[in-house]
Structure 1
Amino acid sequence: MKDRTLPSGADRVVILHGIGQTTWNMAAVRWTLRREGFGALALSYPSTRYPLDKLAEWLHGRLTDEGVWEGGDRVHFVTHSMGGLLASRYLAKYRDQFSDTLLGRVVMLAPPHGGSEIADLLHGYGLYRWFYGPAGQELTTAARNASEIPYYELGIIAGSSGWLYPVASRIIEGTHDGRVSVVRTKVPGMREHLSIATTHTLIPWRPAVLRQIASFLKTGAFERLK
């Protein structure tokens, strides 16, 4: 069934949460974008049930059912964590299913394009495999040795404060958000990259991050930090 909250004549935004989360984790993003005049569609997807390729198929079916690409409105994406990897896979795999003129901009919050050392440490344990499922095995640094190169305008916001995860500093090299290092959020071909002092979990809730999301979707650039 189509989401009746998607208005015609307004740019649409598909919002994707991270692994093991729900649309609730992206509530502030959805509220902000609707306030800014976008038609925001936040989706809960089975992040721990399938690998990324299968999740991309699921997403394609859901967006087709919702009629997201119908009506001639531009479609943007805003993602958190593994949601960025899902958006990358979907946009690469189904590029021929929609017109490039309809695809707008993409903002990814803390995407583990280069994987996570936390996943390196835990992916062999049964509890991790049970909780995070097949996609969790694709978050290691070895599994992420090649990422899809964006053909769209991509802005990435990384978190640079890991205070919520004090042990992570012993595992992750360099500046990080407690789960992903800043350098591993980057991908060749991105348009802009920005770091904000926040943690991996809280990045979708920070007012400064929300302002930057709206700025990039509207202008193709982040606001200059003062």
Structure 2
Amino acid sequence: MVDKTEAVILLHGIGLNKWSMIPVTRILKRAGYVPVGITYPSTKLSLDNIADWLSEKHLTPDFWNGYSKVHFVTHSMGGLVARRYLNKYRSTINPYKIGRVVMLGTPNFGSEIADLMVRYFPPYKYFYGPAGQELATHIQAQNIDTAFFETGIIAGSGSWLYPISSLIFRAPSDGRVAVEKTKLPDMKDHITLRTSHTFMIYRKKVHHQILHFLKHGSFDASQI
């Protein structure tokens, strides 16, 4: 068990809400963490403005003062939000309280799916808003900041749920994000598991790796 004053912020993907992270919330609670699910306006604001919104509405100084450590577990675009928030507000946070960050299928270098949607499907911007446009590969490639926090990234290589993805991705992907696009230069650890983008948050093998990284700062190589 862990120190019960360690919180874990759960950040969902675009167009979803905190309830989509319930499977992860449950395993964190059983492990002794304090899970904090947040529904943020993923389709209404830019990534930068979402970071501001988090700071103003939820991750206030009082919130940080209430815990010994604050970790993050994120799915898809939620990882970009965590990166933007932590880098933008780094100077306002006690560095000893910043825990570890686990990203699940996060398009750190963008997604080719977003490239196609932005270019060929005009309604995309209305459905997914400013942040949705920022998922394009050429935009994310320009916004790679230093990960001063310990980051563990889990990529999926199971694209069977999205048959059309084989026409888009020429390399392993989870059907939405290419494995290589999930990586960061300063990441602490990275693994690829046979799972799809949508369902990775439900997989027990993913849950095991989340808990292992939060506790040890590395993934469990024996279970890959």
Q: What are the residue-to-residue correspondences of 1:35-54 with 2, within 5 Å?
A: 35-54=30-49
Q: Any conservation in 1 of the 2:48–2:84 contact (CA below 8 Å)? A: yes
Which secondary structure does the structure 2 equivalent of 1:96 belong to?
Answer: helix
Q: Any conservation in 2 of the 1:68–1:75 contact (CA below 8 Å)? A: no
Shift of 1:155: 0.2
Matched, 1:222 2:219: yes
Q: Which residue of 68, 88, 101 maps to 2:83?
A: 88
Q: Which residue of 2 aligns with 1:16?
A: 11
Unaligned runs of 5+ in 2: none
Give me the whole-angstrom Cα distance separating, in 2, the residues matched to 1:133 and 1:220.
34
Shift of 1:64: 3.7
Q: Any conservation in 2 of the 1:52–1:89 contact (CA below 8 Å)? A: yes
Give me the whole-angstrom Cα distance separating, in 1, the residues matched to 2:149 and 2:60.
23
Q: Which residue of 1 aligns with 2:141?
A: 145
Q: Any conservation in 2 of the 1:107–1:216 contact (CA below 8 Å)? A: yes
Give me the whole-angstrom Cα distance separating, in 1, the residues matched to 2:52 and 2:58.
10
Q: Any conservation in 1 of the 2:4–2:33 contact (CA below 8 Å)? A: no
Give me the whole-angstrom Cα distance separating, in 1, the residues matched to 2:188 and 2:59.
28
Q: Any conservation in 2 of the 1:104–1:153 contact (CA below 8 Å)? A: yes
| Count of residue pairs brought into register by the alignment | 219
Q: Any conservation in 2 of the 1:32–1:210 contact (CA below 8 Å)? A: yes
Q: Any conservation in 2 of the 1:63–1:69 contact (CA below 8 Å)? A: no
Which secondary structure does the structure 2 equivalent of 1:15 belong to?
Answer: strand
Shift of 1:221: 1.1
Q: Any conservation in 1 of the 2:5–2:67 contact (CA below 8 Å)? A: no
Q: Which residue of 2 aligns with 1:156?
A: 153
Give me the whole-angstrom Cα distance separating, in 2, the residues matched to 1:35 and 1:66.
27
Which secondary structure does the structure 2 equivalent of 1:179 belong to?
Answer: coil
Q: Any conservation in 1 of the 2:105–2:182 contact (CA below 8 Å)? A: yes
Shift of 1:72: 4.5
C-alpha deviations, 1:176-225, integer Å up to 9, x for none? 00000000000100000011100000011110001100110011111123
Q: Any conservation in 1 of the 2:7–2:67 contact (CA below 8 Å)? A: no
Matched, 1:99 2:94: yes
Give me the whole-angstrom Cα distance separating, in 1, the residues matched to 2:214 and 2:155.
17
Matched, 1:29 2:24: yes
Shift of 1:135: 0.5
C-alpha deviations, 1:43-72, integer Å up to 9, x for none? 010000001000000111123459320135
Give me the whole-angstrom Cα distance separating, in 1, the residues matched to 2:199 and 2:47.
24
Letter aligned with residue 171 of structure 2:
G
Which secondary structure does the structure 1 equivalent of 2:190 belong to?
Answer: strand
Q: Which residue of 2 aligns with 1:108?
A: 103
Q: Which residue of 2 aligns with 1:180?
A: 177
What TM-score comes out, normalization by structure 1 length? Answer: 0.93
Instruction: Give RMSD over aligned pairs.
Output: 1.4
Unaligned runs of 5+ in 1: 1-7
Shift of 1:25: 1.2
Matched, 1:191 2:188: yes
In 2 relative to 1, CA 210–41 (structure 1 residues): closer, same or farther, beyond 3 Å? same
Give me the whole-angstrom Cα distance separating, in 2, the residues matched to 1:221 and 1:208.
15
Shift of 1:173: 2.1
Which is richer in helix? Answer: 2
Which secondary structure does the structure 1 equivalent of 2:65 belong to?
Answer: coil
